[in-house]
Structure 1
Amino acid sequence: MTTDSTGKGRPTPKRKDAQAKVKVSSLSPVVTKEQKRAQKLASRQDRVNSRAAYLRGDESAMPLRDRGPERRFVRNYVDARRSIGEYFLPIIFIVLVLTLIQVPAVQFAAIALMYAVLLVAIIDGVFLGRKIKRIINSKYPTSSTKGLAMYAWLRSTQMRRLRAPHPQTKVGDVVN
């Protein structure tokens, strides 16, 4: 065995320094805590601004499922009318309270009310979907009506205050 007396010319690094060097990614720059905090704050502000634009109805801030003139028309058409579906959630709450009453007739009536409202909401959704498809076919003859009936029905079952994007029309307005 021969021994090399020249050595490597530098001290052996500490283990934690060697491991830290391996952990640092070459793709992301070294960031200080202040830079991370500022970046987090900026990203939060971007999300808040994007959400506000979405709720306003800004087309560029909407997801693909809500974009396009057909979807805007459907939203405005649904928002310009009242439907039983938007009252379903409050009615369910009333049914819940009524089922707590220990009178079988009241409990039965509450459950019957719930199913009746559900049935009427479904029937309303079917008629709404047919009407939406008919109007879209005449107004936008080249566009597809796929998914618009369900989109309209789901929006009509949400309480008006909770709809996103927020309604742009008032109840009773004529939508063109």
Structure 2
Amino acid sequence: MFRSRSKDEQAATAKVTADQPQQPRDPQAPKGRPTPKRSQAQNQRRTRAQSAPANRKEAVKAQREARRADMARQREALAKGDERYLPVRDKGPVRRFARDYVDSRWCVAEFFLPVAVIILVLTMVRVPQIQSIALILWLVVILLIVLDSIAVWIGLTKRLKAKFPNENLKGVKPYALMRTLQMRRLRLPKPQVKRGERP
């Protein structure tokens, strides 16, 4: 019952496993390199142990530093227009084209903030005629912004369909309209084209 297997049985089992065809090794398998020497493996383990934070406080600090470095890289990319480090919402040739389309033209909406400040000052004046002028000016500015936004929407739609017929255009036109509301100097990523240039 508890006897060991005979030598004949062991030989037969070994023969069966030898007769089975071996599967070819996957070339993408991770073990496609020589095993490192023991001294190399120990050195790698030591460096990992030394670089790993000793406690939770140090781990949080290291994570905060890494996040700060990423944010600095993103800010620099936004200033220079470097595609590699831009945030996800600004990446891609379609978004770049939409930015260039907006930056290449004059938009009424970019002057909204300065005009709004002027109108606010005019409404504080206690003269009824000036207050009524401020109200009319307010309505005119809003109407001009709406008309200009419609023009940007239609023009950008035509250009995007012509230039990127097979690309996903979801969210690109609202992205462009939000950019028109920002003053040109404050836009991020920074404008890469001059006014009047065709993107």
The alignment's TM-score, normalised by the length of structure 2, stands at 0.66
CA shift for structure 1 position 38: 7.0
- Hey, what does 1:6 align to over in structure 2? none
Gapped regions of structure 1 (runs ≥ 5): 1-27
Count of matched residue pairs:
148
Matched residue type, 2:123: T
- Hey, what does 1:96 align to over in structure 2? 120
Percent identity at matched positions?
Answer: 39
- Hey, what does 1:174 align to over in structure 2? 198
- Hey, what does 2:94 align to over in structure 1? 70
CA shift for structure 1 position 66: 1.4
Gapped regions of structure 2 (runs ≥ 5): 1-52
- Hey, what does 2:145 align to over in structure 1? 121
The alignment's TM-score, normalised by the length of structure 1, stands at 0.74
Once residues 146 and 73 of structure 1 are traced to their aligned partners in structure 2, the CA distance between those partners, rounded to angstroms, is: 14
CA shift for structure 1 position 126: 1.0
Q: Flag the structure with larger Rg.
A: 2
Distance 1:88 1:32, change over 3 A: closer
Q: Which runs of 4+ in 1 moved over 4 A?
A: 35-43
Are 2:180 and 1:160 equivalent residues in the alignment? no
- Hey, what does 1:30 align to over in structure 2? 55
Once residues 122 and 55 of structure 2 are traced to their aligned partners in structure 1, the CA distance between those partners, rounded to angstroms, is: 61
Deviates more, 1:41-50 or 1:102-111: 41-50
What CA deviation, in whole Å up to 9, does each residue of 1:16-67 have, x standing for no partner? xxxxxxxxxxxx741677x876765564344222211123212222222211
Once residues 65 and 116 of structure 1 are traced to their aligned partners in structure 2, the CA distance between those partners, rounded to angstroms, is: 32
